[in-house]
Structure 1
């Protein structure tokens, strides 16, 4: 009897009376044929590059908290990544002007456990340093997830990957490493004051430890507070953090961020005779900030700080640091970006050249650097640029990332484009999502994609998301309710969702989707066949750090889910 039913099932299947569930599921997987991002910022139109110039920021979009190191002619730079997966983007350059992303430091689940944490948790403020005494690179950071805390990974070749994390036995955040000429190693970091000694909200200290290179652990009992509060303790300074130690002319210099990552952000410096201090602040602090300037200045850059120093190819000093470029409503949708400035260290303390006046959009290249190759031959693009991805390569560009989990868990290139295998998770859940993200890198931009998708029910949706966090985002996509396809635009603010617009759509196979922004004005559009785009206008307010909080910028996602709750309204 069982064999008869099996034969009958196969006959019905062969004549099309039944559909193979696996085949039906495969048909429902959305395929994005391509994606095109175009930057349209006015500042780059008004300030074209002349020969010998390059733009700053050097990394546009949410690439914050840069740290840099040098080995010979090779420079390596890392930035924060929070709950993005993979974590800690790493860039390489030979001249500080032209940068290539060579991968991510934390690219395995054993290294990065952010699957159940909010978007602004995870990886904070990585530091990268080369130790010539053992020819080894170290990346040290705080991972607020997975039970890690402060960790270090290492390699002798950043092009070839990094070790699994080693958990370090100290509290606090923003750890940095320093390797002295005598081979000794130290870890310096932000921490809370000693218990019972807290004086005010935001009171922090900088602490230093000796570091055992053989056992990769801080030396128990060697910790010492070297800065209590900040430059002027009587003024109750807040959030002294992101410390780095440098040695020059036999003296030790401790450079830190101070004032919090916002409008009061700055960079300050101290001097000492030994790595463990004591340290005395410079009289001309802060050495970098934008906080004293007019609010309505042209081409405004703000929040400058969290810097790291390196000797450039011309034997002069340079600093990478974070800053933001707010839109016309002073909102921060592109997130905190990586800038660079030359530094004059001919005197006792380093001086950021033009670091206390309005930052300019372009700089002169270091002496001896003759070619600006940004956007060519794999070098990171800069200024206004157009990036087109046809999803026809085995190796997807590193700029495409997942959230809380690897992109490889839900994507594949199938010859027609990018196919997403949707998770039963929507964008508002604190779980890995089946969304491939690209950072917003301009205040004014266009993002286009073409989607082939036939949703079968209201739980299925695919399209574009614009995400500041799990609680602040837009979803714009196609779903199916009672056999009818709908385009829906959902706005989620502080966890509360509402449908902004929904319409029935009837398309044959593919639909074109677009997201564009002019400052704070965002528009989501769709087009059928060769027809014109129809746009729905919204505010970009919820995509800004000012409204959403947290530490990331807006991320544009190619999104699919089988847990959709964005349903059309009649």
Structure 2
């Protein structure tokens, strides 16, 4: 494969290298993510033939989705880093704990991914996985003797590999967080040598996290994320003459943020950056951001592409504009979502889920959606504000509550399920959110029933389709599932769910369809 970078940016030359034009793209329209839906904390590298991108997965399973691209605009799922059950153990975790903030680097032809497993919102374990192909197989996770979270790797010109991460500050009068460094012995996968405290951030009183190390023309540069992962999120930086320091704050910090654009900005919470050089010498950045809709976001933190350049002081994001802008070629796919097994995820471990065309078989489990166990759930990330998600089940042949869910986490979801009972089956709509559990509707049903969840961006509607006509059973404002209302770090999964005794026969879901649509404002279209 030959990598070709996005067109539509005029070439200019700085320091002898071509970089994207400071005048920005020639394509008007909204700023759209290159990886829509819940794909936060992006890390990127170039493996010699293609770009490789890895994002956080929390308690989704399989874990750590890997995407590849030859042009930075069109990304294809390649697989997942974590596919073997039991390593790491995620059972019992809240959905937004789990696998946090990976970094991917190609070191002498071998892909390395480091990541943290968080428990109770604190880094608990840090692991290293390797592969020679983004599609895998990936090595079993190797536990590193370290602490903190948001780990990263950096290969210096002398061949030494360095590990950095963030943790609670141990330096009196500095903090609350700090970035630290140790050498990684790649032959053994162990951290060796002395530890170096690098930096406490540029923004006083704000946690510093998400470190990424780079070297340019003999000078070292450290990127970080500060201000939290909400609207005050920002990319900051420090520089040093050696990788171990002394590090000083880049006075241009923050290098990129949308915090100053206000609550009406289309894209907010921009931060957690990584950089990659393409084969033509251009530098590009990836960052996370959110797209609120009427005061709340349900899609999660998404991955955006931003042109970058190197100047004497260090990296420059979005030269000449200082904010995300439309990237030529990035657009939203509208219509039925193609079936792809790599895009379906469960919670905290593998589920017994098979697919043939649009028919899915899902083995029931007793764990309810409100548990921190392993419910029988398989879903796709909601990646447009407006969409429909539908499936048909046989109400007379179910072992337990079976149907659909718009699932944020165990304490926030909208479920539309058929519940069997002695008096016959009923279609039940239930909302779980920050205000408790609410049964919104209950109607008798028998035989095959077509269940459908739909949203126009503002309202989730649950109902059935009879004779081709949608019959609404309940409507819920999207803010009831928005992160601003229910908390957490993820977005909505559109899921098939089947609760019932272990060992029950797999439940068939037929004619499963997820259809992306355009809101009335056309916000998902360039």
Matched, 1:517 2:462: no
- Maintained 8 Å contact 2:211/2:224: yes
Shift in Å, 1:270:
1.3
User: Structure 1 198/87 Cα, relative in aligned 2: closer, same or farther at 3 Å?
Assistant: farther
Task: Confirm whether residue 320 of structure 1 aligns to residue 286 of structure 2.
Answer: yes
Task: Give 1 or 2: higher helix fraction.
Answer: 1
Between the aligned partners of 2:398 and 2:36, the Cα distance in structure 1 is: 39
Q: CA deviation at 1:416?
A: 7.8
Instruction: Determine the C-alpha separation between the residues in 2 that align with 1:343 and 1:487.
Output: 52
Provide closer, same or farther for how the CA distance between residues 480 and 384 of structure 1 changes in structure 2, counting only shifts above 3 A. Answer: same
Aligned equivalents of 1:315 and 1:259: distance in 2? 31
CA displacement at 1:54 relative to structure 2: 11
Give the equivalent residue in structure 2 for 1:12: none
Distance in 1 separating the partners of 2:316 and 2:357: 53
Q: What displacement does 1:547 show?
A: 1.3
| 1:75 paired residue among 23, 48, 51 | 51
Measured against aligned partners, the alpha-carbon deviations of 1:17-38 in whole angstroms (never above 9, x if no partner) come to xxxxxxxxxxxxxxxxxxxxxx
Given that residues 400 and 438 in structure 1 are in contact (C-alpha distance below 8 angstroms), is that contact kept between their aligned partners in structure 2?
A: yes
1:242-321 paired onto structure 2 within 5 Å: 242-297=210-265, 300-321=266-287
RCO comparison, higher one (Cα < 8 Å, 6+): 1
Name the residue aligned to 1:387: 336
| Corresponding residue number in structure 1 for 2:115 | 141
Structure 1 pair 354/558, CA: closer, same or farther in 2 (3 Å)?
farther
1:87, CA displacement in angstroms? 0.3
Q: How does 1:149-548 map onto structure 2 within 5 Å?
A: 149-194=125-170, 197=172, 203-220=176-193, 222-228=194-200, 230-231=201-202, 236-297=204-265, 300-328=266-294, 330-353=295-318, 359-360=324-325, 362-364=326-328, 382-388=331-337, 396-407=340-351, 410-413=352-355, 417-455=359-397, 460-494=400-434, 496-506=436-446, 508=447, 510-548=448-486
TM-superposed deviation, 1:511: 1.3
State the 1:442 CA deviation. Answer: 1.4
Q: Is contact 1:290-1:356 (8 Å) kept?
A: no
1:276-316 CA-partner distances (Å, limit 9, x unpaired): 1111222211111000113224xx10000000000124311
Equivalent-residue separation in structure 2 for 1:418 and 1:439 (angstroms): 17
Asked whether the equivalents of residues 150 and 173 of structure 1 are also in contact (C-alpha less than 8 Å), the reply is yes
| Cα distance change of structure 1 residues 451 and 357 upon mapping to structure 2, 3 Å threshold | farther
**Quick one: structure 1 residues 504 and 321, their matched pair in 2 at CA, closer, same or farther if it must change by over 3 Å?**
same
Q: Verify the 8 A CA contact 1:472 1:495 in the aligned structure 2.
A: no
Q: Whole-Å Cα distance in 1 between the matches of residues 26 and 181 of structure 2?
A: 45
- State which structure, 1 or 2, has the greater radius of gyration over its C-alpha atoms: 1
Q: Which moved more, 1:207-216 or 1:412-421?
A: 412-421
User: What is the alpha-carbon distance in structure 2 between the residues aligned to residue 303 and residue 171 of structure 1?
Assistant: 26
Unaligned runs of 5+ in 2: 1-24, 503-526
Matched-pair contact (CA < 8 Å) for 2:407–2:414: yes
Match of 1:398, SS state, is: helix
Cα deviation code 1:91-133 (max 9, x no counterpart): 111221221110001111143321221111110000001112x
How far the C-alpha of 1:455 sits from its partner, in A, is: 4.5
Asked if the contact 2:116–2:149 (Cα under 8 Å) also holds between the matched residues in 1, the reply is yes
Q: In the superposition, relative to structure 1, how do residues 550 and 562 fare at CA in structure 2: closer, same or farther (>3 Å)?
A: same
Helix, strand or coil: the match of 1:219?
Answer: strand
Q: Report SS of the residue matched to 1:207.
A: strand
The structure where strand makes up a greater share of residues is 2
Structure 1 pair 172–148 and aligned structure 2 pair: CA distance change class (3 A): closer
Q: Answer yes or no: is the 8 Å Cα contact 1:66–1:78 preserved in 2.
A: yes
Q: Aligned partners of 2:106, 2:373: CA distance in 1, in Å? A: 35
Q: Separation in 2 of the partners of 1:62 and 1:514? A: 22
Deviation at residue 494 of structure 1 after TM alignment: 3.6
2:441/2:473 contact within 8 Å kept: no
What's the TM-score, normalizing by structure 1? 0.79
Paired with 1:54 and 1:154, the residues of 2 have a C-alpha distance of 37
**How many residues were matched structurally?**
476
Structure-2 change in CA distance of 1:205 and 1:526 (3 Å): same
Residue 422 to residue 76, structure 1, CA distance change in 2 (3 Å): same
- The alignment partner of 2:342 has SS state of coil
What SS does structure 2 have at the residue aligned with 1:292? helix
Residue 548 of structure 1, CA deviation: 1.3
Kept in 2, the 8 Å contact 1:237–1:258? The answer is no
Task: Judge conservation of contact 1:293–1:357 (CA < 8 Å) in 2.
Answer: no
Q: Secondary structure at the match of 1:160?
A: coil
Q: Check whether the contact 2:363–2:376 (CA below 8 A) recurs between aligned residues.
A: yes
User: In 2, distance between residues paired with 1:359 and 1:184?
Assistant: 34
What is the Cα deviation at residue 445 of structure 1? 1.9
Partner of 1:368: none
User: Could you say if the C-alpha distance between residues 217 and 260 of structure 1 is closer, same or farther in structure 2, counting changes exceeding 3 Å?
Assistant: same
Tell me if the contact between 2:309 and 2:316 (Cα under 8 Å) persists in the aligned partners.
yes
The root-mean-square deviation of aligned C-alpha atoms, in Å, is 2.6
Deviation at 1:158, TM superposition (A): 2.4
